[in-house]
Amino acid sequence: MENINFNNFKTELELQEKYALTQNELFALKAIMFAQDGNENDYFVLLTAVRGELIEILASLQKKGVINKCYEIPRRIMEFDPMEVPLFDDTVSETEEENVPTYVRMGSELEDVYPMFALINGKIEMLGSGFKGVFDSIDDFYKFYCDQINWDEEKHKEIIDLINWEQENDIGCIIYSMADFVKEHKWEEIKQVKEDIDKHTV
């Protein structure tokens, strides 16, 4: 079975536009991908959001070419197994990757690792991008992010590592939209928390 990787697309918006996906179709697709990647927690969170419409969504995704035509859509949700869903293989070539602008690469790398959900006051909340009404396009946000870090590759790598560390250790300090994270340089808070923990574990 061939799997699609979101890293093959510059943004989720590009994927959504390319296949004319509704928000629920995008949720269902991501749920399937999370399951196939072994990420059960995010799978169940997203599946819950579309559970009542899942069979109809699967049929629509198949019609749009996201799910392989050979897949037999289950009649009931109880028969659904995400591991059996064959997704398209839509990769970019090395030449295309080399031609991706720096701001798109760094911005999309940030978007790839930034969490979609957070546990806030005992509830799982969607963080959201925070782009609406602030940035005219995803490209504008990517450029803004690069401006905030002075287009510094090392700073970018540090931020990616800090987000990964925060998520892997369930620190729980990322509770804001990605736009706010960048505007307010919230990575500095994660860095301080990490330094404090490191001091007490030496």
What is the number of other CB atoms lying within 10 angstroms of the CB of residue 21? 20
Q: ∠16-137-27 over CA atoms, to 5°?
A: 25
The structure's pTM equals 0.55
Rg of the Cα trace of the chain?
18
CB 115 within 8 A of CB 174: yes
* pLDDT tens, position by position, 126-147: 777 777 778 887 788 889 999 9
* pLDDT tens, position by position, 168-194: 998 989 999 889 999 999 999 999 999
Range of lowest pLDDT (67-71, 77-81, 89-93, 136-140): 89-93
* Closest by CA position to 41, among listed 120, 121, 118, 122: 118
What is the number of other CB atoms lying within 10 angstroms of the CB of residue 125? 11
